[in-house]
Amino acid sequence: MNLNLTHKILDKHLVEGTLAVGEIVGIQVDQTLTQDATGTVAYLQFETMGAEKVDTELSVSYVDHNTLQSGYRNPDDHRYLQSVAARYGIVFSRPGNGICHQVHLERFGQPGKTLLGSDSHTPTGGGLGMIAIGVGGQDVACAMAGLPFYMTTPEVIRVELTGRLKPWVTAKDVILELLRRLSVKGGVGKVFEYGGPGVETLSVPQRATITNMGAELGATTSIFPSDARTLEWLELQGRANDFQRIEADQDAEYDDVVELNLSDVEPLIALPHSPDNVKTVKEVAGKKVDQVCIGSCTNSSLQDLCTVGEILRNKKVHPDVSLGIAPGSQQVLELITERSILGSMIKAGARILESACGPCIGMGFSPPSGGVSLRTFNRNFEGRTGTADAMCYLCSPETAIASALRGIVTDPRELGEPPLVEEPDKYPGSESLIIYPPTDNSDVEIIRGPNIQPLPQRPKLANNLKGSVLIKVGDNITTDHIMPAGSKILPLRSNIPAISEYVFNPIDPKFSERAKEKNGGFIIGGENYGQGSSREHAALAPMYLGIIAVIAKSFARIHKSNLINFGILPLAFVSESDHDRISFEDELHIGELHKGIETGKFTVENLTAGYEFTVWCELNNKEKKIALAGGRLNMVK
């Protein structure tokens, strides 16, 4: 049987199960990464497992989210993370070194390896030919302890690329085109594997942009082959020894094929408030712009920033536009400084932001009230910018900078000939902000500030559940809705009692208070409940508030896994009419839970309205054990 690229790598790492769509498999994990917003809880969980050292080829702890150190909380978390890294054999990337996905691509990613990351944009590594999957922090903790990662074997979709991108058209436009076609739910349960003659026309940073935003399709991951362009990138990074060629066999089998001619793609832009609300830039041209942000793990590579800097050379940003630029890594910052790109940005009127996630998660540089912000980021959910009523648009760096110069949404093709950006002869391998663990960790003390609180835990699953409907929400509810980010809330990530005060805050600020008054209860959701970030706090904080089950039409992959891991049952409506019929504050009862876990079928009594309805709970055998134990940590112990 001729294997596709995805199955080649998975088969090599398979420790349990059979690679057939829908079957549960366990895979060996070579590398892990965490970032500080999810890492504190991941390492608190890892500590409880009693391991002496991480059991992976490489684990890296990055600090890139909570770098706005206003008060003691973030610095305390960073000190804890650094001490944990030294204690357990983990590489530590200090604040300022850059965004985890960009740095991992530059310094650590290897073709053919498996990577698990506690960030939903971990699939960025697929641009190097890795199986890189975003998960909750608990799954990463288990992988660091040497346990396999269990997943449902996804469908593998071949994206057949032909042609070549035209001037001013970018990799960002490619993934926006796929989002326009397939939607934010179009990749659920799937891997997107890129192939065809168009692949060789794309550099590794361009491929990484595409795989990064595959997360917005809801995909398990996305992957490109490791080929001559991959070797070229690794040689420039001084890492040629990490290269191996990995491609799909000729006539490999796929579950479906999507054809995309790169020559037909044009500049695109995603309108508020969803990455799949895509139109051509021409359709939106002329709209007044208040702010432009360039950076994020999607578009902060050297190629992206050099293009922006050359366009800005000897020009001025429009007086009505505030322009912020964040290099993706210290390496990128060093190179744009050497090339005088940084100088051209500053002279043009740009604000240079720290090499971190920053504005992407509402950590600074928020737009004004009702402002229009063009961002080269990956998500434009309502309120994510830090300004509740801002209108966030997603686009390429080229479209963003053309618009910054003119003060209105502008098709970059109106700027004339695009600048020519050449690769450096060699990328600097500076690691001044990377700390490798000591060989002898026997005297390493783990430092815990007052913001580091013990993790709450749930007892074993009871056989009966009874409670009120605490909230009823619609389709495509994101983890930003459930557990918002931003400079006020992110510093509380290692303090679950404190952060739980903000559950569902953007939708219903009284949710936490109500949940405490009623000693927990049920959440009712629509389609694709829990899309977006991998943040397990969107499950952990509701668990702390006593949430016993979420009943929704369907669930996003990572969030469903996080709910199970923290002892919350993800129940699915059998009939849409049952969803429509249920009301806020209805009293519900579910009996014979242990039997239902085995059969996957539950009867829910609506005690308020006086009727019954059926819900499903699709769990594999391992997830059934986790649910009965009251969470994965209980089971692992």
Active site residues: 64-65, 119, 379, 533, 535
Contact yes or no for 60/91 (Cβ under 8 A): yes
CB atoms within 10 A of CB 356: 32
Contact yes or no for 274/217 (Cβ under 8 A): no
What is the sign of the dihedral through the CA atoms of 432, 437, 443 and 447?
positive
Tokens read off for 53: 């050292």
Longest distance between any two alpha carbons in the chain, whole Å: 73
Distances in Å between the alpha carbon of 19 and those of 15, 154, 299? Answer: 11, 9, 34
Tokens read off for 479: 């983890």
CB atoms within 10 A of CB 536: 30
H or E element at residue 324:
strand 322-325
- How far apart, in whole angstroms, are the C-alpha atoms of residue 265 and residue 279? 12
Q: Which residue reads 């740095």 in tokens?
A: 103
- Rounded to 5 degrees, what angle do the CA atoms 538, 583, 522 make? 35
- How far apart, in whole angstroms, are the C-alpha atoms of residue 513 and residue 499? 13
Tokens read off for 298: 């999607």
Residue 74: partners with Cβ closer than 8 Å, 6 or more residues away: 36, 66, 67, 68, 490, 491
- How far apart, in whole angstroms, are the C-alpha atoms of residue 67 and residue 354? 9
- How far apart, in whole angstroms, are the C-alpha atoms of residue 533 and residue 539? 12
Nearest to 138 by CA among 165, 168, 116: 116
**Ordered DSSP codes for 469-489:** EEEE--TT-BHHHHS--STTT
Contact yes or no for 543/573 (Cβ under 8 A): no
- Report the DSSP pairing between strands 190-195 and 221-223: parallel
295 exposure class (CB count in 10 Å sphere: 0-12, 13-18, 19+):
buried
- How far apart, in whole angstroms, are the C-alpha atoms of residue 141 and residue 43? 7
What's at 375, amino acid-wise? R
Tokens read off for 231: 């070797």
- How far apart, in whole angstroms, are the C-alpha atoms of residue 62 and residue 208? 18
Tokens read off for 409: 């949404």
Q: Quick one: DSSP state of residue 582?
A: -
Contact yes or no for 557/155 (Cβ under 8 A): no
Nearest to 485 by CA among 533, 452, 542, 453: 533
- How far apart, in whole angstroms, are the C-alpha atoms of residue 324 and residue 296? 11
Distances in Å between the alpha carbon of 521 and those of 514, 562, 589? Answer: 10, 18, 10
Beta strands in 111-154 (DSSP E): 114-117, 131-134, 149-152
